[in-house]
Structure 1
Amino acid sequence: MVFECQKLPYKREFTSTVVSCEPSQIERLVQGKKEKIPAFEVILEDTIFFPEGGGQPDDRGFLNGIPVLQVKRRGKDAVHFLPEGIDIGAQAVGVIDWERRWDHMQQHSGQHLITAIVDTLFGYKTTSWWLGEFVSHIELDTASVSDVQLQTIENKVNEKIRESTSVEVEEYEGDAIPQQVRSRGLPDDHVGPVRVVTITGVDSNMCCGTHVSNLSHLQFIKLLHTEKGKKNKTNLFFICGNRVQAFMNRSLERERQLTKIFKNGPEDHVDLATKLQASVKVFQKTLQALLKELAVVQAEKIKVEKPKFAVVHRKDGDADFASALIAELASEDITLLVTVGEDNNGQMTLVGQEEVVSTLGPKICSCLAGKGAGKGKRFQAKVTQLGPSARQQAETILREYFQ
């Protein structure tokens, strides 16, 4: 299983003969849901499209101008999934999405380098890795990695990049693989020679992915952070190459925006944000106290009027306001509808006799476009229509019931 994409990872275009083309299906996200859509499975004599494997996603691009939706390995073949078919025996001209390929080459070679350096320095083995859309991570067989260790690893990997260390790929048959080569095993359906990726003087590792030919092509590796993984392991997050520049650009833009908001330089941002957060907490506590006092006042007014039902809405209210109002009226024989929040994001609570609540709760919930449930003398729901019109409909339901 050695395709042209693995032999010549820097190649961007190629021509190959179509060996087979069969109707198929492919699973895609359509409006956030997975759906199967029609597709064609196209197999070529050879390909520069990398089929997903070894933790590396597949390549994308075009075959004869037709978008390549997905590429998967099946035994010795790379299967290209297209929305249209191509005649068997026809010549297919392929053009890969080079930015995607180049990014994957940088991240994958960066992973090999980090894995080797971590093992050499601290003996932590890599048990798996994930090449994400923006950030990748390596799962290390250790409970933790200290900040000092992270800095040591980052310094060492970037030292190897500055040395322009070469990366070579060799192919071996069966038992000819050198003993020092690292491996987590081959897929059950592996066919053909085994590829070994060697970072000169650093590491040799069995791998099917596409890699840079020199570590200088990685430009720079930034270790971002770690988090606790599964089974007492640690996930180490990193970015390489062009992703570092993109990360810096996003960070600088956020810094510019914060400078405008705080009207102070970046060196003061953390201090100002801390003070602002403390002020917000004080404000929230004050607001909560005022809302509870307001709930008591509102309840006293309702007690004086002694209505069969009451409707109370506060746009600036919350669940605590509703609870305080309901508690103040708990001893009164009044059906109470309390709504709080914004017109498109609020809450409703209906309390009263169990028969009234079970009858009117779902109706009122429906007119306020909400989802909730009733239990005994209370019906609660999150609602998305709290405008004047919707609230008027809810009040009408109550009024008609008590006529």
Structure 2
Amino acid sequence: MATQKLYETDAYVQEFNAAVLSCTPQGEAFAVVLDRTAFFPEGGGQPCDLGTLGGAKVLDVRTDGETVTHFTDAPLPVGQTVGGCLDWARRLDAMQQHTGEHILSGALHRLFGAENVGFHIGTPYVRMDTSIPLTAAQLAQAEAAANAAVRADTPVRCYVPDAEALAATEYRSKKEIDGAVRLVEAGGDRCACCGTHLARTGEVGLIKIISAQHYKVGMRLAVACGQRAYDAVSAAWADCEAAGRALSSPVGSLAPALARLQSGEAALKQRLAALQNALADSYAANAIPGQPTVLWADGADGDGLRRIAAAVAEKTGAVCCAAAPGGQGLAYALVGGSAGDVRPLCKALNAAFAGRGGGKPAFCQGSLAAADFTQLCTFIHHYGQE
């Protein structure tokens, strides 16, 4: 049973009437075949349409190439005519993404010889895989060319040429196709495609490459078109404005402001390290040889706690625990000095005070959720006497 595919000749059909040719239970759903349909089945990287048929919801749409099968949540009467209604927001989004992908893929191919070897309209972005690696500058050039094609607002043409015309026509295709080939021309690109597309390039609105990473021998791009591109740019701009307020710098000057912040942070880290080294030396100078030590080092970070504990343990030859607020509540660093493996003590601390941590025989680090400094001192001194 060949289904008349209304979406192939008019992608803007949103409502239609059709005769129900068959309705077969399929698990909890019903497989419905109509004599004609505007519902696009999943294929070619484009998701299927959703909507309603009669009083039933359309859950999925598939095709074997000839017959289009709709999977609904309720049965439909065979032999009767039902009305179909597409989820138009979903279809329009798919058309924007798919048409935009054609335009961008065409630009990448014309400019750099890149082939589109993978395409999927996912959420929240379109995934595009290229056959070759591309630089950031090349991607920016292709994006600019694609958006120029969008602004030109030229017609998008979908057609099936005869065999003679097809043989004389150059077009992009991911694979060899036998028989009739449906071509889509958009923004200077010509490609074999079965999907639904906009009538004019201007309806795409905007094409934006969100991210790019090396993948296999080429690149994997995340791309947004139309409303998705607007939403992505709007969200990114809001983030930039919020960052600008925090940095006291306008959008457009965030990079130098961030560089200044990072430079200041690096200087502060150096000063903190110097202070923590001085504090470690001071604690070590006053440590009692042979005696386990528990020290309070409020303000020290994890590296500072390690430095302090190591300096004191080296002086005393005994276990040293340096602690400060942090982690789950109380952060600590254990160094054994010549006292041996501190991992059993670390394990005992974690068990006694709902802690997390671990390390090597000579050094362990972690945090405790259920202990204050007094309890920590008592536990370690008691543990050391066992």
Alignment of 1:71 with 2:63, yes or no, is no
TM-score by length of 1: 0.73
CA distance 1:146–1:323, shift in 2 (3 Å): closer
Q: For residue 334 of structure 1, what is the aligned residue in structure 2?
A: 318
Alignment of 1:107 with 2:97, yes or no, is yes
CA distance 1:322–1:279, shift in 2 (3 Å): same
> In 1, Cα distance between the equivalents of 2:351 and 2:243?
42
Greater C-alpha Rg:
2
Q: Report how far residue 227 of structure 1 moved.
A: 4.0
Q: For residue 22 of structure 1, what is the aligned residue in structure 2?
A: 26
Q: For residue 43 of structure 1, what is the aligned residue in structure 2?
A: 31
Q: Which of 8, 12, 18 matches 1:10?
A: 12
Residues 3-402 of structure 1: matches in 2 within 5 Å?
A: 4=6, 8-13=10-15, 17=20, 19-23=23-27, 40-46=28-34, 48-59=38-49, 71=60, 73=62, 75=64, 85-87=73-75, 89=77, 96-145=86-135, 147=137, 149-150=138-139, 152-170=141-159, 178-179=166-167, 180=169, 181-185=171-175, 196-199=182-185, 202-223=188-209, 226-231=212-217, 233-301=218-286, 303-304=287-288, 307-308=291-292, 310-312=293-295, 314=297, 316-331=299-314, 332-339=316-323, 342-344=326-328, 348-352=332-336, 353-354=339-340, 357-358=343-344, 360-373=345-358, 375-381=360-366, 383=367, 385-386=368-369, 388=371, 395=377, 397-401=379-383, 402=385
Residues 345-401 of structure 1: CA distance to partner in whole angstroms, max 9, x if unpaired? 87544444557632x4323224554554454344444x4x54655x66655543543
Counterpart residue identity of residue 335, structure 1: V
Contact between 1:194 and 1:206, CA under 8 Å: does it hold in 2?
Answer: no
SS of residue matched to 2:199 = coil
Q: CA RMSD in A?
A: 4.1
* Stretch of structure 1 that moved more, 175-184 or 98-107: 175-184
Residues 89-124 of structure 1: CA distance to partner in whole angstroms, max 9, x if unpaired? 488876554333322211111111122233233322
Contact between 1:61 and 1:96, CA under 8 Å: does it hold in 2?
Answer: yes
CA distance 1:184–1:376, shift in 2 (3 Å): same
CA distance 1:335–1:316, shift in 2 (3 Å): same
TM-score by length of 2: 0.75
Q: Report how far residue 198 of structure 1 moved.
A: 1.6
Q: Report how far residue 217 of structure 1 moved.
A: 0.9
Q: Report how far residue 42 of structure 1 moved.
A: 3.7
* Stretch of structure 1 that moved more, 289-298 or 217-226: 217-226
Q: How many equivalent residue pairs? A: 371
SS of residue matched to 1:178 = helix
> In 2, Cα distance between the equivalents of 1:67 and 1:394?
63
Contact between 2:56 and 2:74, CA under 8 Å: does it hold in 1?
Answer: no
Contact between 1:13 and 1:94, CA under 8 Å: does it hold in 2?
Answer: yes
Counterpart residue identity of residue 221, structure 1: I
Q: Report how far residue 203 of structure 1 moved.
A: 3.5
CA distance 1:225–1:364, shift in 2 (3 Å): closer
Contact between 2:32 and 2:71, CA under 8 Å: does it hold in 1?
Answer: no
> In 2, Cα distance between the equivalents of 1:318 and 1:129?
47
SS of residue matched to 2:166 = coil
Contact between 1:41 and 1:80, CA under 8 Å: does it hold in 2?
Answer: no
Counterpart residue identity of residue 327, structure 1: A
CA distance 1:60–1:282, shift in 2 (3 Å): farther
Contact between 1:116 and 1:203, CA under 8 Å: does it hold in 2?
Answer: yes
SS of residue matched to 2:228 = helix
